[in-house]
Copies of this chain bind each other. A is one copy, B any other.
Amino acid sequence: MTGSSSRANANEASLLRVFTIPESDESTLSRIEKQMSEDLNGFLEQQIVAVQKPLSEIEQDFADSCIPEEPMWVSDYSDKILDTLIAHSVHTSSPRFIGHMTSALPYFLLPLSKMMVGLNQNLVKVETSKAFTPMERQVVGMLHNLVYQRDAAFYDQWMHNVDGTVGAFCSGGTVANMTALWAARNARFSAEGDFAGIDQEGIFAALKHYQYDGIAVVTSTRGHYSLSKAADLLGIGRRSFVAVDVDENNRIRVDELARTCRELADNNICILAIMGVAGTTETGNVDPLDEIATIAEQYGAHFHVDAAWGGATLLSSQYRGLMRGIERADSVTIDAHKQLYVPIGAGMVLFKDPQISTAIEHHAKYILREGSKDIGVHTLEGSRPGMAMLVHSCLSIIGRQGYELLIDKSLANARYFAELIRQDEDFELISEPELCLLTYRYVPSHIKRFLEGASEEVRAHINGLLNVLTRMIQKTQREQGKSFVSRTMLTPAAYNGADIVVFRVVLANPLTTPEILRDVLIEQKAIARQQLESLAPIEALVNGG
């Protein structure tokens, strides 16, 4: 349905054209494609509206619940989504978008993505993926090697093995974490005597057979929400998800972890898994993995490390040590669509011992037959695209050395920004950047000084008001569309466990410059001064006191 007139009746000849005749170079869609290919950032800056429209207004363009009856010309469709969809999307690759874990992408991924889609391989089975199967296994193997550094003989034996897998590719960290916990659960409650295994008989029978009074999954209060979601999904229950307090650096308190485990064991609760976090989503801190590993061993618990975001740090010789102990984990989650600079939709779970993957193995008569190398035998998902190709290309083209430069640059950027915040008397650094993530808030210097001498009660009151202010600044800055930081709520030890709303910044975009970082703070100050409604009650208190 290429052409310029606005409507076309469905007829077979014109319909088959969309499958057989490519877009002409002069078509609207080709022009858009050319612009994006030549200058993605320029295209997005030009197309995405600067001042944001409220979501409720955007929804008006997507209000019709009927599948359009008649076909539409590709050109008309392209014009339409340029105005309604692209114009109101988020410029996630902008160097000024430093609020989330998405970043700029290497240019070569654009044509490669098109290639991936054009090939339309389905990774569930060899019959619909052929070379994509060994390619994906290699990508997972390379990441396994990055974490576990086993010898060549290990990878020769396991990387392309039928009887197990060193890991599984999936759409993202959430599915990776679920897959890890699923494997851990099934391996722990495996067949024994009359009991056919939890995969066959379910949790109810498993607990009865193994005579436990319950199951627990332990992590810190900073663990990602996908972990408790996994506990729900897997039938363990969110309450079985035990959150241990963190220290002043947002790392799990090992003494508390040990105490919790002892208590659970005393109460005949099976400690199914302990989940370490290597790069918490909110503050970017890394749990003491080595010490957690020792406790996990003591209780025979599966040790999982959620390194969805921080795992890429292993590529830097200088910072690899921050992950010490990760090689003792039974399973590790790493997202390629975070610090490996791959588009959204690429996560991995890695298994220290490939044989644990047999705990979640499944077969069917028409595919995934016994003895096949079909990857779908060991994945939570079924049909899956060839995203691993994009990871493969980045690992090959950027190389370990290239990633090292990127990681080191991100951490240097974060340290620079932390220094900027510390030097500005109107800001307060809440969490130091251990990796390239930090949190802070805006507190004018005179309020800071007042807080120091204030009573606990007054401090709590002012912190509450500052929370409102922080929220308003973040929201206004986002709506102004020049730059974006995110926000979250922490309970820092230094604030006696009070809820503190903070700005959250992730500095993984290699194109983010010191100038941009300075601008972010300048803009926030300017917005703050206009937030009279939020500021007035604070000033009243300060002046009244």
Contacts and interface: CB of A to CB of B under 8 A. Distances in A.
A449 interface: no
Interface string A371-394: 001000000111111100100110
B366 A281 contact: yes
A203 B159 CA distance: 36
Interface in A387-415: 389, 392-393, 395-406, 409
Contacts of A343: 117, 120, 385
A200 interface: yes
A234 interface: yes
Interface stretch (A65-73, A319-327, A350-358): A65-73
B145 A9 contact: no
A400 B134 contact: no
Contacts of A32: 111, 115
Copies held by the complex: 2
A143 B401 CA distance: 47
Interface in A108-145: 108-115, 117-122, 126-135, 137-138, 141-145
Nearest to A177: B382
Nearest to A29: B111
Interface stretch (A10-18, A245-253, A257-265, A527-535): A10-18
A203 B85 CA distance: 42
A119 B89 contact: yes
A445 B422 CA distance: 87
A107 B207 contact: no
Interface in A225-252: 225-226, 228-229, 231-240
A172 B384 contact: yes
A29 B194 CA distance: 59
B127 A90 contact: yes
A497 B483 CA distance: 67
Contacts of A10: 398-399, 401-402, 404-405
Nearest to A236: B202
B66 A142 contact: yes
Contact of A63 (B120, B128, B159, B282): B159
Contact of A237 (B21, B93, B134, B201): B201
Nearest to A131: B88
A110 B33 CA distance: 10
A366 B202 contact: no
B365 A489 contact: yes
A22 to B, nearest CB: 5
A492 interface: no
A358 to B, nearest CB: 13
Given A29-B112, A134-B55, A71 B282 contact: no
12 contacts: A10-B401, A10-B404, A66-B142, A67-B399, A77-B397, A80-B396, A127-B478, A171-B383, A178-B380, A186-B232, A199-B232, A234-B234
